[in-house]
Amino acid sequence: MKKVDLLNAERLLRAGEVVAIPTETVYGLGGWINSREGLEKIFATKERPFFDPLIVHVADIESAKNLTTNWTPLHDALARAAWPGPLTLIADKENSIDPLITSGLSSVGLRCPDHPLTLELLKKIEGGIAAPSANKFGKTSPTCAKHVSDEFNDSVSILDGGSCRVGIESTVAGVIGNLVEIYRPGFFTAAMLKDILNRAGISAEVKYAESPVAPGQLKHHYMPKIPLVIVPPDFHWEKDHQKIEAILGKKFHRPAFWDQPEKVELASRELYESLRSFDEKGHDIIVTKKLPLHESEEWFGIWNRLGKAKTATLI
C-alpha cells in the first residue's frame, strides 16, 4: 500500500498528483483545485466521465464563501450546523473555478469533511481539494485505505485515516430561493435540514428532488462485482431461490445474506464493506431484505445506494 503522511500528501497535491484522502463518509480521490493536472488525473484514474461534477472539500465556511457568488443565509445556517460533516451544499460558482470540476455547470458542490487529518491538510493548501469517492466509476465506494489500494492495484498514494465513521456519501443539497432540494440522500435527512433552518429562524421548504438533476446521479452506481438482489421480508433461499434464478437466467450456489443492522448508523457504516467482503469470500450472489423498518426517512440514503447497486428486486 502506498501510504503517505500529511507533508507528502500536500507536496503531491501541489505537484499535480492525486492523493486518496480520508473523510467521515468515504475515501475521496483528491486533486488540488488549482492544479489542472491533478484534476485531469482524478478523471483518468477513476475512468470517470467528464459530465459528472466533483465535490470541492474546504477547510471552513470562509473558504467555501471564496468559491461562490451567492452564499445565502440558508447556505450559511446549514453549513454552521452541519460542518464539518456529511452535507454537500450546491452554490453558484465563482468564475475562477476550473470548469473541469463543475462539468461546465454554473454551480459548485462544497463540503467541509469531518476528519482531523483531511481538515489539517485542507488548512495547509489554499483553495480546496476536489474529490469524488476513491473508486472506479460506477463501483462501490471505499470506506478504508485497503479498499482504495485494492481498487487501484496499489497505484494511488493514500493518506490513511482509518475506517470511515458514516460509511455512505454525503447528503447533496441545493438551495433555490426558499427551497432546499436534496439531490442525493445521506446522513442528513430533509427533516434534519428543516429543523436546522427552523432553529436559525428560517422557514424553508426541504424536499427530495424527484428526478436526477445532477449529471452524476445515474440509475446504476455503487455496483458490487457479484449480483445484489433485494427481497421481501418473508423470503427464504431454499424455497424462493428459483425466482431469482429465473430473473437472472443462471443458477447460484454460494449466496451471501446481508442482514442489515437495525440501527441505521451501523447499517450505513457496514454497507460498502459488506458488499465488498461478500465478493472476496467467494460468494456468487448477495441477498438483502427490505423490511418495513427501512421505509422511514433515515434509511433513504442506504436504500438509494442499494437501489442503484442492485441487479434485481423481488419486491
Binding site for ligand TXA (CB under 6 A): 23, 25-26, 28, 52-55, 86, 88, 90, 102, 105, 107-109, 111, 113, 131-133, 169-170, 172, 183-184, 214, 216-217
Question: Taking a C-beta distance cutoff of 8 angstroms, is the pair 290, 261 a contact?
Answer: no
End-to-end CA distance of the chain: 41
Rg (the chain; Cα; Å): 20
Q: Using the rule CB under 5 A, which residue among 133, 268, 274, 304 binds Mg ion?
A: 133
C-alpha cell at 252: 447460484
C-alpha cell at 194: 428543516
Query: Facing residues of 286 across strands?
Result: 228, 256
Q: Minimal CB distance to Mg ion: which residue? A: 133
For Mg ion, the closer of residues 23 and 68 by Cβ is 23
For ligand TXA, the closer of residues 130 and 229 by Cβ is 130
Binding mask 76-115 for Mg ion (x = CB under 5 A): ----------------------------------------
| Those residues with Cβ within 8 angstroms of residue 182's Cβ, 6 or more apart along the chain or in another chain | 171, 172, 173, 190, 193, 206, 207, 208, 209
CB of 9 to ligand TXA, least distance (A): 15
Q: Which does 244 bind (CB under 5 to 8 A by kind): ligand TXA, Mg ion, none?
A: none
Residue written as grid cell 425466482: 243
CB of 132 to Mg ion, least distance (A): 5
Does the footprint of Mg ion cover residue 304 (CB under 5 A)?
A: no
C-alpha cell at 34: 488549482
Q: Residue 151's Cα: distance from chain center in Å?
A: 16
CB of 47 to Mg ion, least distance (A): 12
Residue (of 34, 41, 146, 148) closest to 97 by Cα position? 34
Q: Interface residues with Mg ion (CB under 5 A)? A: 133
